[in-house]
A and B are shown apart, each in its own frame.
Chain A
Amino acid sequence: MAFDRTAHKYLRKNFKMPTIWCSGCGIGIILGSIFKALEDLNMTGDNTVFVGGIGCSSRIPFYVDFDALHTTHGRPIAFATGVKFAKPDLNVVVVAGDGDTAAIGGNHFIHACRRNIDITLIVINNKIYGMTGGQYSPTTKSGEKTTTSPYGHIERSFDISKLAAAAGATYVARSSVYHVTHLDKIIKEAFAHKGMSVVEIMSPCWTTHGRRNRFKTPVEMYKWLKDNMIPLNAWEKLPEDKRAGKIPYGVFVNKKDIPEYCEAYYEHIIKPNLNKKRRDFSEDIEAMKIKLEIKAKEGWHV
């Protein structure tokens, strides 16, 4: 038998298994897709860094046999900006949740998109704060029940893909843990993309979200994704009144003509200035001498 053991090859050595995630959680499925993309693109521990924030999704860096930075809540994109900008040869992958990305880290998120820095951001959207026990997040739908919206949620939710596109990310796509072959494809495309790439992945959390919203098992939530997520081309043909409750998936943005931040910095800032004379203040002294001479001519005692 020749089994496909890509995932087993990339899992971190000596790190305790099985994974920390609940039974039926989709994060492991996403990690599997990531492993496949890494294998296909020849991304190794010598050229790739994983950065995570706080939350269930951000545990992914623990399980990959790569250099990994498990950071503070909301900041992984800022940490990743530091890593990438300091060493542009590295591939930098950020794995974050909807809270990390759209709530506490919203600012870093939109600005990284605006800069078009070459980072791949994988947003695992489970519409809830899972690790803290199921509080509403910026992507929780109106009407849903969570521990902090026990009477139903009254706020509107963010569309993370639209937000990323509006902020200027040059690759934006959405998929789900049900649509695994599509997921494999877009994660690979995002890794290969030069510039800020954002992949939003719908991944259900049954333990803290589904259970409280009439899903009897995790599997039912996967079936919901199957029934309610629509390919982008079909979505575009759908009349406005039929769109409610449905989620489009596919590639929303894929631009190749926008300069990448690190390359632009090198091209426009480092290259023309490298090895130029550093400021040593002699010009200040000269300027001051001239000023004093003028003053002296004017009859001042200097």
Chain B
Amino acid sequence: MRGPTEKELEGYTSPVYVYRAWCKGCGICVEFCPKNVLEIDDQNKCAVVRPQDCIKCKLCQLRCPDFAIIVDDGK
């Protein structure tokens, strides 16, 4: 398993997780999020700013070219 370790994910409560080490800040996720949950921050990385609005449609995860976004799939 690559990406964030279980430890890094431990205690994380928002439905969207951004693995900043791999994010290149392209902004595709921000543009196509139907609920404006995400924004590009001052470090040019994706940040989850409105997690309460997330409807878990996973479009950000599907369109993230860098495997940096994972969404809770309720399983």
Which A residues have a C-beta under 8 Å from some C-beta of B? 1-5, 7-9, 11, 13, 17-19, 21-29, 31-33, 177-178, 180-181, 184, 217-219, 222-223
B24: CB under 8 A from chain A?
yes
Query: Quick one: closest B residue to A180, CB to CB?
Result: B62
Q: Is the CB of A180 within 8 A of B2?
A: no
How far, in angstroms, from A26 to B68 measured CA to CA in the complex?
A: 14
Query: Quick one: closest B residue to A4, CB to CB?
Result: B73
Which B residues have a C-beta under 8 Å from some C-beta of A? 1-3, 9, 12-13, 15, 17, 21-28, 31-32, 58-59, 61-68, 70-75
* Sample of 21 A–B contacts (CB below 8 Å): A1-B72, A3-B73, A4-B72, A4-B75, A5-B70, A8-B2, A18-B21, A18-B24, A18-B68, A19-B65, A22-B24, A23-B24, A24-B26, A24-B65, A28-B65, A178-B63, A180-B62, A181-B62, A184-B62, A218-B28, A219-B28
Q: Is the CB of B75 within 8 A of A2?
A: yes
**Additional pairs, 9, CB under 8 Å, beyond known A17-B22, A19-B66, A29-B64:** A1-B15, A1-B17, A2-B73, A3-B70, A3-B72, A4-B58, A8-B2, A184-B62, A222-B32
Q: Identify which of B3, B23, B59, B64 contacts A5 (C-beta below 8 A).
A: B3
> Which residues from chain A contact B59 at a C-beta distance below 8 Å?
180
How far, in angstroms, from A178 to B31 measured CA to CA in the complex?
A: 11
> Which residues from chain A contact B66 at a C-beta distance below 8 Å?
18-19, 28
Q: Identify which of A9, A184, A217 contacts B1 (C-beta below 8 A).
A: A9
Q: Which 7 A-B pairs have the closest CB atoms?
A: A28-B65, A24-B26, A23-B24, A8-B3, A3-B70, A180-B62, A11-B2
Given contacts A1-B72, A4-B70, A17-B22, whether A25 and B65 have CB atoms under 8 Å apart is yes
Q: Is the CB of B24 within 8 A of A24?
A: yes
